[in-house]
Chains A and B, each alone.
Chain A
Amino acid sequence: MARLHEYQGKELLKKRKVPVPKGSVASSPDEARRIAEEIGDEVMVKAQVWVTGRAGMGGIKRAANPEEAEAIAQQMLGMAAKGFVVEQVLVEERLDIEREFYAGVIIDDRARAPVVIFSSTGGTGIEEIAREHPDKVARVEVDIVEGLQDYQARDLVRRVGIHGRLLRDLGGLVKNLYDVARTFEARAAEINPLVVTRDGKLYAADCRITVDDYAVFRHPDLGIEIAREFDRPPTELEKIAYQVEAEDYRGTFYFIQMADDFGRGEGYIGFHGAGGGGSMMSMDALLSRDYKLATYVDTSGNPPASKVYRAARIVLSLPGIDGYFASGSGVASQEQFHSARGFVKAFLEQRLSVPAVIRLGGNMEEKAIEILERAAPEIPAPLEAYGKDDTADFCAERLDNLIKEGKIKDLPMPAPRPETREPYTFESPTGTVTYDHAICDTCESKVCVETCVRQILKLEDGRPMLDISREDAKRGRCIECLACEVECQFEGKGGGFVDLPIPGLGEYRKSLVKH
């Protein structure tokens, strides 16, 4: 889930009239001092990282004066906290706290509705309080269309024994918290602690807001880089992969880098699954053979071949993997030959140098296996393909054997793609298709036209051309099945080529070479 930093959450709360302590975020010790000067009193300096228990690791400290605030910020900035590096600190007025509460909004899968929770005791250990003192915690289900009503919020607070002006004030605040959650489509929005100060004022002293990944596109102003929960900052490859995912809605593409800084021979496998359930079992099959996962990738939901190609290219950009394992549920509904062509294009371009076992069981698996097996002799490393009657366990065993055998074919480097003499080009949804008609003139098979899944090509004077408008091809009539390249390469003369850019990957690979 897309988590917001405390200071970002507080900005949203403030906009919706939930009072927050006076303060601001700083990226340098100097800035921290200036903010403290402006506040003109004791301040709190709080590290802005997505971890719990900040106080325990020195991430929340009190500063008596601006100089102290500067010194503390100096310590905190650059500090590592559970894998995250502190890049910002929040400097805010210190509150004179009399009492702490808890308020939260979450989506309850059973009720299929948002639920607002309020506790008369806040601070750490709120789960235990809820378990041991249910009388201190009240909750209310919210009608998604009508929203949380003022009276419901007041009654929520009343049920944990709060009365008088405090009831009115807290009721109003809880209602505003719900509105923040609803407006920004939060999976969870919590204020803990919600405090009342000795002079009787309410403040959200801390807050955690997690925005629904699937709704991030509606809130560009939140500036969320990757809409996904990581327990560490995203890696470069993850950022590259997320761009691919974000720009192509067809099918699922999910990429997580599970390991960093490893080398050949350490047993890390590029894992590429399809569908959560089958992937889990396939990963278990690897783990039980003492392999480790370099990646968790999921391309499912009928992705185009181009997406599988990009996923494979990204996985293969990890230089230390010992093998490539693609395996899903085994009985997929999606037409598996699309994925097969994506793999073949990636493996050929990358001159795959580690063994790969690809289990593409399911719809049209015979064709998928044929496409992969046809390409195997052209690829230096061993490549095996299996279907639904071969279990994930068996396939993991095969990969294990291939890695142990360590046989790599000595293939000559392929000649670089010759300059296109008579280019015919059109755009696909995410790339460019090019034919060299000079080569096409020497080709008798015209396999590109026959195998084009959506039949959008025709022959004119024996040369392949679009049979639809360029706009339609770009808009999605071309589904990037990659037949025009892969089939052409094996059954034709190699005149067709599909360029599928992956922004940032080239630079990433160059940076690896430098290191």
Chain B
Amino acid sequence: MSILIDEQKRVLVQGITGREGRARTVLMKEYGTSVVAGCTPGRGGEEVEGIPVFDTVLEAWEEAGPLGVSVLFIPAPLVKSAALEAIDAGVKLLVIIPDRVPIYDVLVIAKAAQEAGARFVGPNTLGVLSPDKAVLGMIGGRAASARSWFFPGPVGVTSRSGGITSAMAYYLAQEGIGATTLIHVGGDAVVGLPHPEVVKLFEADPDTKAVVMFGEIGTSQEEQVADLIEAGQFTKPLVAFIGGKAAKSGTRFSHAGAIIEGGRGTHEGKVQRLREVGAVVVDSFGDIPKATKEVLQKLDS
């Protein structure tokens, strides 16, 4: 199995006629994603790579059938409106690719998603990929690259850095370890599906035997994962690397930030907290494959 995406889910691409939308639609289609419709206001009736383009999401839904996922390739200032449109039409998973989406817009999207029972990945995400099944967004860049870099296996990969998402999965694959799903949670401070939400999904996926996580300084995502482990809500082995050790300190937003964080967010804090609850935190990025191999071997024995 996999999480969030497989070859069955019917996918809409919002902004399909743009530079990125067009290019990544090719990738998604060739990799196996079932892209069934595109949407660009004012461009209804056109086709992109054989995929019909509609003026509104609702029209796409009515004409092309139910849509499980929407991938947004929309300029940041227009993301809020596009996301609300998809949520309103009934789409339950959004993948918001662009960066520089204003944070208050993200909060509004989060609220609407919560009320509608929908989820979103991103913003500022490379996307989600389930090896040999489907990809949402731009992981791999080209279907041929994605096919040669990743293959199915027992590890769930979650990362706060886009490039590292592919890098971790690739270096794991070089050591013979495949993945159920790779997910780039997004680089922004507020994201729709942070690490703790992702590991809960991996917990529920029977094929995921272990999770590999790339964390970073700032926010409390990694600490929340530790809380889940402690509470027994995430029970699979976790291999983690936390980036940003060399950085002077995380971006601090004044006293209020410090009050909210209450000491969370630092490199040492994250490493210590994860180790306390039994996660394997490696000190060097290059050690991830080896540590993962050991964790999987232990599971087998």
Contacts and interface: CB of A to CB of B under 8 A. Distances in A.
A127 B161 contact: no
Contacts of B103: 107, 185, 187, 212, 214-215
Contact of B102 (A212, A278, A335): A212
A278 B161 contact: yes
A281 B285 contact: yes
A277 B254 contact: no
Interface in A378-401: 388, 391
Given A249-B76, A333-B141, A275 B162 contact: yes
Interface in B256-277: 256-260, 262
B164 interface: yes
Interface in B82-129: 99-108, 110-111, 126
Contact of A335 (B99, B141, B190, B285): B141
A479 to B, nearest CB: 6
A330 B171 CA distance: 10
Q: Most A CB atoms within 10 A — which of B149, B220, B253, B286? A: B253
Nearest to B265: A109
Contacts of B169: 331
Contact of B141 (A108, A190, A229, A364): A364
B192 to A, nearest CB: 8
A363 interface: yes
Given A215-B104, A276-B161, A190 B139 contact: no
A21 to B, nearest CB: 21
B220 A185 contact: no
Interface residues of B, number: 64
A1 B256 CA distance: 15
Contact of B259 (A107, A117, A332): A117
A29 interface: no
Interface stretch (B4-12, B44-52, B201-209, B242-250): B242-250
A107 B163 contact: no
B142 interface: yes
B256 A217 contact: no
B108 A144 contact: yes
B259 to A, nearest CB: 5
A145 B187 CA distance: 24
A459 to B, nearest CB: 24
Nearest to B115: A145
Nearest to A112: B110
A362 B243 CA distance: 20
A429 to B, nearest CB: 10
B167 A278 contact: yes
B141 A278 contact: no
Interface string B153-182: 000000111111011011100000000000
Given A276-B187, A277-B159, A335-B141, A214 B76 contact: yes
A396 B162 CA distance: 22
A154 to B, nearest CB: 20
B111 A143 contact: yes
Most buried by A among B100, B108, B246, B251: B100
Interface in A276-331: 276-278, 280-281, 283-284, 287, 300-302, 328-331
Given A210-B254, A275-B163, A277-B162, 10 more contacts: A130-B262, A144-B111, A185-B102, A188-B256, A188-B257, A215-B105, A276-B216, A300-B163, A302-B138, A329-B166
Interface of A: 1, 102, 104-110, 112-115, 117, 126-127, 130-131, 137, 139, 143-145, 182, 185, 187-188, 190, 192, 208, 210, 212-215, 217-218, 229, 249-250, 252, 274-278, 280-281, 283-284, 287, 300-302, 328-335, 362-364, 388, 391, 476, 479
Q: Which 3 A-B pairs have the closest CB atoms?
A: A329-B163, A277-B161, A363-B141
28 contacts: A105-B256, A106-B254, A106-B257, A106-B260, A107-B189, A107-B190, A113-B107, A113-B110, A115-B260, A130-B262, A182-B104, A185-B104, A187-B253, A214-B103, A275-B162, A275-B164, A277-B164, A277-B216, A278-B163, A300-B163, A302-B20, A302-B141, A331-B170, A332-B163, A333-B139, A364-B142, A388-B167, A391-B286
